[in-house]
Chains A and B, each alone.
Chain A
């Protein structure tokens, strides 16, 4: 056998290549099975970027369905709570240019949180059914309340309330949440001409 191979180099080369081919083919096949990507990764990534307010303003019942729809070619500017920064991030991910927010779906507003005026609540449980993130606690004919930390400010519980006892109030910033803001007067980014006063393409 050995002598046959050493004598016949052509055959040896052929065998070696076929052997290598089978080996790596097998390896690749195994890897494809082993490291299979379960769900569509792009939908996952898009969903990561959406604000998860779950408000439905985009016309879909939640952020994940909208992410799916974007993956299927829908416009990326339908999410008002996310605003321009989310649109920019999605545009960046998909490597397309960023449009501005589609006003048809609403405007970018400051974030609010729902508060139930508890003495007026009649315990009808309608708001519980509306809340997409189960942020309302209560039981039939008993007072309800919103878990402020879990509320996304989606506004969906306001409409169903028969006695209008839910207020959407802006989040009041306290001293621990306060952050420095950027300086107001900013000069041009860098001086590019002799006068130094022309805007550089930033």
Chain B
């Protein structure tokens, strides 16, 4: 047995995994509509390649990956594209984002599948392209596009491949049950990845010892493959990438570096399964295993859901009791977030839907002052000082937050979990991370503005100098002309005086009289009022039918028009006095 290293910190929340493990993986009837957000992964949104009204087949590409970090989106079932617009999505902000809606035709007819059962003969590049084309993004929850992660393997030598089957969050059993039922396919997926990475020396599967059946299944299928199954004591959060690497190898990934810099690649076991499906069966990522748990649901079990299935569809088929439910959580109780509505679709990263009762996960209690007990520092798996970070976050001291490695915080929530004062520590860290990122972005744009401003300054100066030299040249010319014909001096002199006089006159007329100013302002006011009315009418229209985004825009223009009216009225009163 391999040596196991012990990570600092960690907590032991109640497991709550048995509830959803009593049944095997279930299937739901086809929903009427599927909603596919263009951003289901870390990075930029995919680019739509279908139009409204188009008929699509199951597995057909709906949106392709854009440049940079991105992943493609495919149709999970056959049907028609009935909308491409903003819909509310599973996001902690509760905001909407661009989605493609498919109305299913019920036939569930596949597009022609191109499979590569002889992947051993394919080159690394070919395999990588297959994985990218299948739209695979980390299924463990972070959703990093897998093809890009594996790219690092072709650029740097990789000697260790780690498969993350830790699943350390309470309630979630999606990886566990997938391993129990389909370990053979996961091992095939691992073999494909190993082939792609040029056969790393060490291949490890890391799993917590609270999943004996999954460990047995893995052991059985790994015999003779050279893959080592390593199990270790259960502790939250062992499943963080850096934490798992430390547990299995004793190596620490330095702050700001990636596992690939140490010659390692870490993939989730569900992702390995999706890779097998993509390469050997030619099926893109259109379904995943999601755990449904919580006392507000009559049935707790794992489902193989089609991506894009509305959460409400999942709940409906499981005797969901709204009155019993304290809130809907996507993800686990430690790192998940509350859903604003049950109409949002399940996406590639939806590991779990938790519908707890009021007693199961009570509402947050009001926070109390910090008593400096230090429990949070003991619990932190990243060896940070959460209490210090909390103070600096409250004081908005960005410099100290960064020097205390705020960005190494994995937002695991262990500190908030142990805090006897119920301080929502993680939320402070998240907001501070956002503030710092914003501040950096503003700094960058300010630098651009400064450059443009200075450039313009130089341009104006140059134009000034050019004008000045032209004037000088003209003056010299006239002087010369004067010298040539002294008789005309008198007349030019008088004409110069005339010119100055005329210029002065023009200057006076240019400065509008108060009456003129008033008239202009009145015209402006009239125009502004008309615009306000128009904008209000349009607002009424979009409020009746129109997306939230359109409404927001219209609201903004009403606001702008209103301000203009106010400003002009004010100026008008000023001028009239």
Contact = CB atoms under 8 A, between A and B. Distances in A.
B91 interface: yes
Contact of A132 (B369, B434, B447, B453): B453
Interface string B433-470: 11101100010011111101111110000000000000
Instruction: Please give me the 3 A-B residue pairs with the lowest Cβ-Cβ distance, nearest first.
Output: A179-B434, A180-B430, A52-B449
A63 interface: yes
B450 A47 contact: yes
Nearest to B523: A164
B431 A185 contact: no
Nearest to A179: B434
Contact of B456 (A133, A149, A152, A200): A133
Contacts of B549: 172
B367 interface: yes
Interface in A35-70: 47, 50-54, 62-64
B368 interface: yes
B291 interface: no
B564 A164 contact: yes
Contact of A134 (B391, B433, B452): B452
Interface stretch (A14-22, A95-103, A138-146, A187-195): A187-195
A87 to B, nearest CB: 14
Nearest to B93: A178
Given A175-B97, A179-B431, A183-B424, A150 B91 contact: no
A92 B563 CA distance: 35
Given A132-B453, A167-B557, A179 B370 contact: no
29 contacts: A50-B446, A51-B442, A51-B446, A54-B453, A62-B457, A63-B453, A133-B452, A134-B456, A135-B452, A149-B445, A150-B448, A150-B452, A164-B527, A167-B560, A167-B561, A169-B557, A169-B560, A170-B559, A172-B552, A172-B556, A174-B97, A175-B89, A178-B95, A179-B431, A179-B433, A182-B427, A182-B432, A186-B367, A187-B370
Contacts of B564: 164, 167
Given A164-B527, A169-B557, A185 B367 contact: yes
A3 interface: no
A84 B171 CA distance: 46
B35 to A, nearest CB: 15
Interface residues of A, number: 43
A164 B452 contact: no
A168 interface: yes
A202 B527 CA distance: 52
Nearest to B95: A175
B99 to A, nearest CB: 11
Interface string A157-183: 000000010011110101110111111
Mostly helix, strand, loop or mixed at chain B's interface?
helix
B524 A182 contact: no
B402 interface: no
Contacts of B528: 164
B405 interface: no
Nearest to B556: A169
A135 to B, nearest CB: 7
A52 B452 CA distance: 10
Contacts of B553: 172
Contacts of B453: 52, 54, 62-64, 132-133
Contacts of B434: 179-181
Contact of A185 (B366, B437, B563): B366
A146 B449 CA distance: 14
Place the interface of chain B in its size category: 35 or more
Contacts of B372: 190-191
Contact of B369 (A135, A174, A178, A191): A191
B367 to A, nearest CB: 4
Given A175-B93, A180-B427, A132 B456 contact: yes
A97 B450 CA distance: 27
Contacts of B146: none
Given A54-B449, A187-B369, 16 more contacts: A52-B450, A133-B453, A150-B452, A164-B524, A164-B527, A174-B97, A175-B96, A176-B39, A179-B430, A180-B92, A183-B424, A187-B366, A188-B369, A191-B370, A196-B368, A202-B395
A92 to B, nearest CB: 10
Interface in B382-402: 391, 393-395
B19 interface: no
A125 to B, nearest CB: 15
A36 to B, nearest CB: 22
Given A135-B452, A170-B559, A172-B553, A196 B369 contact: yes
A28 interface: no
Contacts of B452: 133-135, 150
Contacts of B446: 50-52
A164 B571 CA distance: 15
Contacts of A64: 450, 453-454
Contacts of A176: 39, 45
Interface in B347-404: 366-372, 391, 393-395
Q: Output the residue of A50, A175, A178, A202 with the most chain B CB within 10 A.
A: A175
B95 A174 contact: yes
A135 B452 CA distance: 9
Contacts of B556: 169-170, 172
Interface string B231-262: 00000000000000000000000000000000
A133 B431 contact: no
Contacts of B431: 179-183
A194 to B, nearest CB: 11
A171 to B, nearest CB: 9
B371 A190 contact: yes
Contact of B394 (A167, A169, A174, A202): A202
B237 to A, nearest CB: 19
B449 A134 contact: no
Nearest to B437: A179
Nearest to B447: A52
A196 B369 CA distance: 7
Contact of B560 (A168, A187, A190, A191): A168
